[in-house]
Chains A and B, each alone.
Chain A
Amino acid sequence: MTRSLSARLTVSLLTVLGLSVLAMGVAIDLTVSALLMRELDATLLDDANALAGMVEPKPNDAWEFDEGDNPRLRGGLVAYEVRLDDGRALGRSVLEQPLQAPTRSVTIEHTPRGDEEVSAEEVSNRKVIVRVERSTHEVDALLARLRLIIALSGLAVIALASVGAVITVRRSLSPLDTLIARLHTIDAGRLDVRLETEQLPLELTPLVARLNDLLQRLEQSFLRERRVSGDLSHELRTPLAGLRALLEVGLATPREAAAYQETLRDCLAVVVQTTHIVERMLELVHVEAMAPLVAWQPFELRPLVEVSWAALSDAASKRGLRFENRVPEKAAIEADQALVMLILSNLLSNAVTYTEPNGLIAVESSPENGLLFSVIDSGPRIPAEAVPRLFERLFRGDPARTSSAHLGLGLAIVEAAVERIGATVTVEQNDMVRFEVTRKP
Chain B
Amino acid sequence: MRILLVEDYAPLAKATAQALREAGYVVDVVTDGLPALEAAIATQYDAVVLDIMLPGLSGFEVLTALRARKITVGVLLLTARDAVEDRVKGLDLGADDYLLKPFEMAEFLARVRSVIRRRYQNVEGIVRIEDLEVNTIGRTVKRAGVSIDLSGREYSLLEYLAVRRGQIVTRAELLEHVYTEKPESNVVDVFIASLRRKIDGEASVKLIHTRRGQGYVLGTAE
Contact = CB atoms under 8 A, between A and B. Distances in A.
A230 interface: yes
Nearest to A269: B11
Interface of B: 8-12, 14-16, 18-19, 22, 53-56, 58, 79-83, 86, 100-105, 108
Given A239-B9, A249-B105, 15 more contacts: A230-B82, A235-B80, A237-B101, A238-B12, A238-B101, A241-B102, A243-B102, A244-B104, A245-B16, A248-B104, A249-B18, A252-B105, A266-B15, A400-B55, A402-B9
24 contacts: A230-B82, A230-B86, A237-B82, A237-B100, A238-B9, A238-B101, A240-B102, A241-B12, A242-B11, A242-B12, A242-B15, A245-B16, A245-B102, A248-B104, A249-B19, A249-B22, A252-B105, A266-B11, A266-B14, A269-B11, A398-B55, A399-B54, A400-B8, A402-B8
Interface centre among B12, B14, B83, B105 (most CB of A within 10 A): B12
B135 to A, nearest CB: 20
B53 A401 contact: yes
A253 B105 contact: no
Interface in A392-416: 398-403
B187 to A, nearest CB: 25
B8 A248 contact: no
Interface in A222-279: 226, 230-231, 233-246, 248-249, 252-253, 266-267, 269-270
Given A252-B19, A252-B105, A245 B53 contact: no
A253 to B, nearest CB: 7
Nearest to A262: B14
Interface of A: 226, 230-231, 233-246, 248-249, 252-253, 266-267, 269-270, 398-403
Given A230-B83, A234-B80, A234-B81, A245 B12 contact: yes
A270 B9 CA distance: 10
Given A233-B80, A401-B53, A403-B10, A248 B101 contact: no
A240 B53 contact: no
B101 A246 contact: no
- The prevalent SS among residues of A at the interface is helix
B11 A246 contact: yes
A202 to B, nearest CB: 39
Contacts of B82: 230, 233, 237
Contacts of A267: 11
A239 B22 CA distance: 22
Nearest to B15: A245
A233 B53 CA distance: 12
Given A237-B102, A238-B80, A399-B58, A252 B11 contact: no
Given A230-B81, A233-B82, A253-B22, A244 B102 contact: yes
